[in-house]
A and B are shown apart, each in its own frame.
Chain A
Amino acid sequence: MTLTLLLIEDDEIERLKFERVLQKNNYNHTLIQAENGETALEILENNTELPDLIFLDLNMPKMNGLEFLNILKSNPVLRHIPIVILSTSNNHNDLKKSYEIGIAGYIVKPLKYEDYAHKIKCLIEYWSVNELIKR
């Protein structure tokens, strides 16, 4: 199954890392990228086709990940989209708040690129075999 993924990440190299994992594994999933929450919301509201899955960085300038999460979950059209958090910290508070608002997963970015690539590969493969709501 081909998935449409939305990656919300302010760091350019992080976006490159994600792209490279897809590329190296020869996945033909569609990747939409947004540098921040505001841009992501624009994309979601203007685009007729919604992503199947959102990857969200928690620490971003301006609107942070938790704020974005809150907006998304209070939007009746968008609230069903599963969201996986990508974060450098396993701060207990962040973890708790995210799950309380409603997330589908929480990934701590490891130091080594190989470890990162492995985690993302697992995620993509997991979501590829899931049934998802198509709009």
Chain B
Amino acid sequence: MSSELEILQRALQREKAARKQAEQILEGKSRELYQLTQELKGANAKLEDGLTEKTSELQGVFGNLVDAYVLMDISGNAIKMNHSAKELFGYDINQEKLNIITLIYKEDYEYAMNSFQELIVKGSFSNYQARVYTKHKGVRTVHINASLILNKENQPIAAQGIVRDITEELKQKQIFEEQKKQLSAIVENSSLGIALTQFGKILQTNKAFQDLLGYTQDELLQREVKDISLKEGYVESENNMKKMNDGEIDNFSVNKRYLKQDGTVFWAKTNVAAVRNEDGSIKYQVALIEDITEQLEFEKQRNRLVKNLEKSNKELNDYAHIVSHDLKSPLRSMNALLTWLKEDYVDVLDDNAHNSLNMLLKKVDKMDHLISGILKYSSIDKVDHPKQSITLRDIVTDIIDVIHIPDHITIKIITELPVIEGDKFRLQQLFQNLIGNAVKYNDKEQGIITVSCEQKDEFWEFAIADNGAGISKKYHHKIFQIFQTLDNKNESTGIGLSIVKKIVDLYDGKIWLVSKEGVGTTFYFTLKSKI
């Protein structure tokens, strides 16, 4: 029995010990649990703080975003809009409800709906560009990037978008495009060949340039300037290019020859201008070329003509003098021989022979006058003395003193005569011939000749009036032609008035006459007040 007890007592002992151990374990676990709970509590509190922090951070970002930010539910009702969004659309959702769909521009509706579908399916879209109505700013064009917001069950509950107003940007772009178009229209339609080059490589050409050289744009882009230039001119261009690179010059102009696609060559005036980077180094060169082959040919021809003209003018001048000498010499001999006949045979010759000899002498005299006249006429425009101030009163007074004036004729200067710029020799000839004629052909007992002048606008109008025989109207034009004379018994040659006309023409003036037969004639002529 005692052993049974003993066994029982031992069992109890063991049981007590095990229980104690279990109690000890439980106690340890409880303590661990407590500690864990405490730790969790701390972590939770930290997390909550973090979330609040993040939320307010985000609030700040949205508020300060330059672009508009819109949050809407799946039906398009605006839930949240930042300051920029309020500004752009003109609505304050704290004051009034706003459905974004109502803002879509009518014509862009379909596109908007398609984009929205895309958003639902893919979860986001970007680079959406369409027009919207705004409250105060009318229709604006906007650019939107959007994304979907999902709940725990992956169901879409909202959408958010960043909206940027690109109306101004588009307008600027349009203006820029327009200007670019205008500029290229000018460049393309220019008759000058234009090329943009960079270190000798051709980057861009216009139509005229392509036409001039006979290459297409693509062919030109594979070539360098030296491929289309003749070697001879390249050195000069190179030197200029170097100067341009060194910043000594900004542009230069050369006449050089170009090699065309078909192997022919043409001369072109070439203007090259530098387009520089900000640091002054060359970015591009713009070359403008103009075909001057024809122009050069014309110039050559013109120079040849001028040279020929100069030569023949000189020849003519010499010719006039040689002819006049050769014609005058025999006349001098004839005069001498006739005079000697008269002198040496004065006792032998009868009246008839004397008359004949005298008539011969007169003809010789007239011939001499003719030759002198032609010489004078041909040299009027050749003698080119420098222009000087000519006091016409002095000129006319001198003429009156020099020419032979019979006693029955008086010459009066009845107005002031101007001082004009001109050639003294020509002006002298002009007045002398007209006054001389008035004296020579005066048939009245008391001959009166007047010289006067009147200023008209840009020229002086002179009048030389006589009370002589007068000239019939039918001769008024004829008398200015060379060798035309109305009087054949006198020694008139018909050159005097043609010289007058030539001088007046030289000074861009006019000459005409008013005359009444038996009463008198007035010659009028004009000279520019500034010759």
Where the two chains meet, the residues of A that have a C-beta atom closer than 8 Å to any C-beta of B are 11, 13-14, 16-17, 20, 59, 88-89, 91, 109-114, 116
Contact = CB atoms under 8 A, between A and B. Distances in A.
B365 interface: yes
Contacts of A11: 329, 333
B325 A111 contact: no
A89 B340 contact: no
A20 B333 CA distance: 13
B336 A16 contact: yes
Interface residues of B, number: 16
B332 to A, nearest CB: 6
B321 A116 contact: no
Instruction: Name B's interface SS.
Output: helix
24 contacts: A11-B333, A13-B332, A13-B333, A13-B336, A13-B337, A14-B329, A14-B332, A20-B340, A59-B325, A59-B329, A88-B324, A88-B328, A88-B329, A88-B332, A89-B321, A89-B324, A89-B328, A109-B332, A111-B332, A111-B335, A112-B339, A112-B365, A113-B340, A116-B332
A113 B336 contact: yes
Contacts of A109: 332
Given A14-B332, A109-B332, A111-B364, A91 B321 contact: yes
B324 to A, nearest CB: 6
Contacts, number: 44
Contacts of A112: 335, 339, 365
A99 B339 CA distance: 33
A55 B360 CA distance: 30
B292 interface: no
A109 B329 CA distance: 9
Contacts of A14: 329, 332-333
Top 6 nearest A-B pairs by Cβ distance?
A: A13-B333, A113-B339, A113-B336, A111-B368, A88-B328, A88-B325
A92 to B, nearest CB: 8
Contacts of A91: 321
Nearest to B342: A113
Given A59-B325, A91-B321, A111 B331 contact: yes
Nearest to A20: B340
